[in-house]
Amino acid sequence: MRVLGIETSCDETAASIVLNGRHVLSNIVSSQVALHRQYGGVVPELASRAHLDAVIPIIDLALKKAGIGLSGIDVVAVTRGPGLIGALMVGVQVGKGLALALDRPLVGVNHIAAHLYAAQLSEAPHSASPHSASPHSGPSASDVVESDALPVAYPHIALAVSGGHTALYRVDSPLSFQELGSTLDDAAGEAFDKVALMLGLGYPGGRVIDDLARGGRTDAVAFPRAWLGKRKFDFSFSGLKTAVRTHVKVNGVPVGDGLRDLLASFQEAVADVLVEKAMLAAKEQRVHRIVVAGGVGANSRLRALLTQRCAERRVEAILTPLRYCTDNAAMVAGLGYHLAQAGDVVSPFTLDPDAGLSRSGAPA
């Protein structure tokens, strides 16, 4: 089964073709970072307009790279929330139109659930040729793709970290997960962006801090960790952000090694809390594997620290491939396959975007 995924929840316009829920035939992402950089963050109206311009060309490119035409698509999957309402509307309307015109099943996908699924994706060793595209009658022998990548076993703990979301989940299947805790204020990615902004480092903050912190001393500045007592699986980064601001107010903005040390210490404070809470969740849930996903899941220190501590405590660390950490449509198409298989198909006339879609339970 070939699923077309469409993602427009924030500031990436993306389309992907995924075979049988795992094998990525194409994964095209158009980033709006350059557009929003001058504003220090995503401007919703500009994001929506950029999606309008990009979405059809991006879908065309995804089809071309996969080597199939629209007639070779079996299901259309589109992100319906959470996200920016204007941005979501673009993708949802295009998905509805394609499903209606092609007479194909349509599924609406929870963006956070898609991130939780992203570690299951595998690059197909070869793309489908134009001659192997199956008609809508269903999958054929040509749909079988061999891959060395093994699927991630269930259950597992998932640490989903991005600019808009930071949360811990117990994941029992692609369509069943339970939120254990989430951020009470700033998401981790938002904290990175705000610290970068106060230091004049530009946008997006996560990437620039990750780069500049390399080689810095992680214990140079004793920044606080918010463990939160009884709310042990929740997160709070507002106090850490305030501590950075206070440090800079007293000492000024450092340069050279001083800046590297400051950023490495800040980054360590974020990663330390994320990893320790994930480890605690794995222990209490009696689950022996942890998946890290989402845009901040690409952070090099977070990945290294999780790998180190999992090895020490005999827990399996699963790092979502970098290309599937940031927003993409392959994760949407992959999860969309399972939704379609479960019969969770919606009418093109009734699917609406939902900016505040719940992320605490089933991904519908």
Spell out the domain ranges in the chain.
2-151+324-341, 156-320
pLDDT of residue 82: 94
The domain made up of 156-320 is a member of CATH 3.30.420.40: yes
Strand order in the sheet with 176-182: 176-182, 166-173, 156-161, 289-293, 316-319
Going by C-alpha positions, the residue among 24, 264, 26, 200 that lies closest to residue 121 is 24
Q: Which of 20-24, 104-108, 128-132 is least confident?
A: 128-132
pLDDT > 50? residue 176:
yes
- Average pLDDT over every residue of 52-57: 96
Q: Is residue 73 predicted with pLDDT exceeding 60?
A: yes
The per-residue pLDDT for 248 is 96
Task: Kindly state the percentage of the chain with pLDDT values over 90.
Answer: 85
Q: Residue 135: is its pLDDT beyond 50?
A: no
Q: How many beta carbons lie within 10 A of that of residue 32, not counting itself?
A: 20
CATH code reported for the domain at 2-151+324-341: 3.30.420.40
| Residue position matching structure tokens 């950075």 | 244
Whether the CB-CB separation of 270 and 235 falls below 8 Å is answered with no
Residue 197 token pair: 């902004």
List the alpha helices (DSSP H) in the chain.
33-36, 44-66, 85-102, 111-117, 188-198, 205-212, 238-251, 257-285, 300-312, 330-341
Q: Looking at residue 148, what is its pLDDT? A: 44
CA 299-304-308 angle, to 5 degrees, is 150
For residues 299-314, give the mean pLDDT: 97
- For residue 125, name the pLDDT band (cuts at 50, 70, 90): low
Tokens representing residue 355 in the block: 């900016």
In the chain, the N- to C-terminal Cα span, in Å, equals 20
Task: Over range 244-253, report the average pLDDT.
Answer: 96
Q: What is the mean pLDDT of residues 173-195?
A: 95
Token duo for residue 178: 């339970």
**110 by DSSP, 3-state: which?**
strand
Say if residue 143's pLDDT is above 60.
no
- Arithmetic mean of pLDDT over the chain: 91
| Percent of the chain at pLDDT exceeding 70 | 91
Sheet holding 106-110, edge to edge: 106-110, 75-81, 2-7, 12-19, 23-31, 122-123
- Whether residue 310 has pLDDT greater than 90: yes
Closest by Cα among 360, 209, 359, 202 to 271: 209
Summarised one tens digit per residue, pLDDT across range 330-343 is 999 999 999 999 99
User: Which pLDDT score is estimated for 130?
Assistant: 34
Confidence of residue 103 (pLDDT cuts 50, 70, 90): very high
Task: Give the lowest-confidence range in 121-125, 175-179, 332-336.
Answer: 121-125
Write down the pLDDT at residue 78: 98
What per-residue confidence (pLDDT) applies to 9? 95
Residue predicted with more confidence, 40 or 95: 95
β-bridge pairing 23-31 and 122-123: parallel
Same fold, 2-151+324-341 and 156-320: yes
Do residues 92 and 20 touch, judged by C-beta distance below 8 A?
Answer: no
Judge whether residue 41 has pLDDT over 80. yes
Q: Judging by beta carbons within 10 Å of its beta carbon (0-12, 13-18, 19+), is residue 269 exposed, middle or buried?
A: buried
* pLDDT given for residue 126 in this prediction: 52
pLDDT greater than 80 at residue 131: no
Whole-structure pTM value: 0.90
Q: Is 189 helix (H, G, I), strand (E, B) or coil?
A: helix
SS3 163: coil
- pLDDT computed for residue 360 by the predictor: 55
